[in-house]
Amino acid sequence: MPSSDADNRNSANRPVTGRLHPRVYTVLIGLALWMALWVWSFLGGGETDYLLLIVTGFIVVVVTLQLILMRVRRADKTADAENSAGDNKDGALSFHEWARGEFETERGRLRAAEAAILILPPIAAAAIGMMASGLEFQIVERGL
């Protein structure tokens, strides 16, 4: 039982948020742009260029939506701050403080660092996979 009381005291001091830290958004956007850059390593001729433009357009739309969502969250946060005397200001938290806190999800709470670790790998895998495929394509094309 004593460890349960200690856990409750530790979790009481942690900030709880349902928002990602801006650095997590920055990493997501950076990985998306890295993937878009490597998409262009398949530049060839004919229809390929058109398809590359479409794929890049999809990536740009996703990045733009992420930026819009970040701004909407900030506007929503300032409206919430005006309506209540909330002590939890997500934008004021450093990344270290945010990562030590808890992240509210639809199915419950988990550590914020764990949430970031669950969110980032899919886009990282896609970006690294695109880079590996692009490098392989360039090696095969040049006959190295």
Whole-model pTM over 0.75: no
For the four alpha carbons of 68, 69, 74 and 75, in that order, the dihedral sign comes to positive
- Spatial separation of the C-alpha atoms in residues 124 and 136, rounded to whole Å: 18
> Tell me, what's the pLDDT at 85?
43
Place of tokens 């005291």: 9
Number of domains in the chain: 1
Cβ(15)–Cβ(97) below 8 Å = yes
Task: Quote the domain boundaries for residue 97.
Answer: 2-142
In tens, the pLDDT along 15-68 reads 888 888 889 989 999 999 999 999 888 887 667 788 888 989 999 998 898 888
Tokens representing 7 are: 């856990």
Q: How far apart are the first and last CA of the chain?
A: 64
Cβ(13)–Cβ(112) below 8 Å = no
Cβ(98)–Cβ(89) below 8 Å = no
